[in-house]
Structure 1
Amino acid sequence: MIHADYDEQLPDDDSGVPEPPSKSQRKRESHALQDLGEQLVALSLDQLKKVPLPESLADAVRDAKRMTKHEARRRQMQYVGKLMRTVDPEPIQAQLDVFNGVSKAEVVRQHRLERLRVDLLEDESTLQTIVQTWPEADFQQLRTLRRNALKEREQNKPLRAFREIFRVLRDLEAGTTVGASDEKDGADDAAADE
């Protein structure tokens, strides 16, 4: 009989009022935003400029990048996490996915560049297509890289020119200066070659 009385006192679930998130859910969301903040701090300054951030959050992230003392950095990261709660994380995560090569658009772009590289190795006339698409392309450099890549493959040597072709095509598509590469490029290319 006690149970029947208890059931009568429960409020209707059909009230239309959404239940607030549980404490555990709020904690998980807070940790996810903190992790997103950590990823922002790990970015290079050039990459950070490409992420859509409010100025206050961008300043806090740059400050955290400069901090070397553990406790100061920990407090700054808490502040970054607090600021992260006021922004929509979706555009930030989307840009991070692009940097990490996770987004569908980035995967499609990399596959297109890989196909173009393979076409170039199989047929030298692809050079004309590349130069027509990107007039700023260095025809002679691409021709030399193609010849070197074919030699490397033939002699079972490391595929340096093969990776360099991808780098050049990626830079052309991005509209950056060809040949400007950093250490990260090697890691990107290794992932793209798989």
Structure 2
Amino acid sequence: MSEQKTQPEDELDWVSKTQRKQESDAIQKLGRELTTISEQVLAQLPIDDTLLEAIELAKRIRNKREGYRRQLQYIGKLMRQRDCDEIIKGLAKVEAQKQQANQEFHQLETTRDAIIAEGDSAIQAVIDEYPQADRQRLRQLSRSAQREQKQSKPPKSARELFKYLREISEAAE
């Protein structure tokens, strides 16, 4: 009869050198990414003081090639000693917020362009969506923007229209 070999638990958790290297490189890349983001974003992430100080030092010595490289190595070492899942989730959340803001910005641009091109029908759509919007102001800005386009003037009214749309959009939230 054949004997079944049972593997100890230590052998089940075995990780190849290649896989460890790939994980290390991914953490190193994450550390490099942390040195490029703003202070406001860093403040939102669950980063302890030691790692935060290392990141700030790396930002200060960025133009010192070898020192910066060694600092990135140190950041990678610190991050390998920590659970990076929360940092990755925090970065993903910040990125999602940035994409949401970009999407809203583009939507406002599209609405502005529609108001300038179509006039009253697009204004009515904005009034339907934002009842607190001032129809008279929208019409005035629309006419001024159309006039500026025809006369090849700078789009001052189009900018004002965009600002007004952003104001009423933010007020509705």
For this structure pair, what is the TM-score category when the shorter chain's length is used for normalisation?
A: 0.5 to 0.7
- Structure 2's unaligned 5+ residue stretches are 116-121
Highest CA radius of gyration, 1 or 2?
2
1:69 matched to 2:64: yes
**What is the letter of the counterpart of residue 96 of structure 1?**
L
What TM-score comes out, normalization by structure 1 length?
0.55
Whole-angstrom distance in 1 between the partners of 2:68 and 2:99: 34
Tell me the secondary structure at the aligned position of residue 68 of structure 2.
Answer: helix
**What is the letter of the counterpart of residue 124 of structure 1?**
I
Indicate if the aligned counterparts of 1:146 and 1:165 stay in contact, CA closer than 8 A: no
Indicate if the aligned counterparts of 1:64 and 1:73 stay in contact, CA closer than 8 A: yes
Aligned ranges for residues 100-179 of structure 1 at < 5 Å?
A: 101=95, 103=96, 107=99, 110-120=102-112, 121-122=114-115, 123-125=122-124, 126=126, 132=132, 144=141, 148=145, 161=158, 165=162, 169=166
In structure 1, what is the equivalent of residue 119 of structure 2? none
**What is the letter of the counterpart of residue 39 of structure 1?**
E
Q: 1:82 aligns with which of 72, 77, 81?
A: 77
Tell me the secondary structure at the aligned position of residue 55 of structure 2.
Answer: helix
In structure 2, what is the equivalent of residue 3 of structure 1? none
- Structure 1's unaligned 5+ residue stretches are 1-6, 134-139, 174-194
In structure 2, what is the equivalent of residue 187 of structure 1? none
Q: Structure 1 pair 149/65, CA: closer, same or farther in 2 (3 Å)?
A: farther
Indicate if the aligned counterparts of 2:108 and 2:162 stay in contact, CA closer than 8 A: no
Whole-angstrom distance in 1 between the partners of 2:89 and 2:70: 26
Whole-angstrom distance in 1 between the partners of 2:15 and 2:153: 57
Indicate if the aligned counterparts of 1:149 and 1:159 stay in contact, CA closer than 8 A: no
Whole-angstrom distance in 2 between the partners of 1:108 and 1:132: 23
Indicate if the aligned counterparts of 1:145 and 1:165 stay in contact, CA closer than 8 A: no
In structure 1, what is the equivalent of residue 18 of structure 2? 24
Q: Structure 1 pair 24/149, CA: closer, same or farther in 2 (3 Å)?
A: farther
**What is the letter of the counterpart of residue 83 of structure 1?**
L
How many residues were matched structurally? 152
Whole-angstrom distance in 2 between the partners of 1:129 and 1:36: 41
1:10-54 CA-to-partner distances (Å, cap 9, x unmatched) read 8425x5553221111111000000000111111122332222211
Whole-angstrom distance in 2 between the partners of 1:82 and 1:11: 38
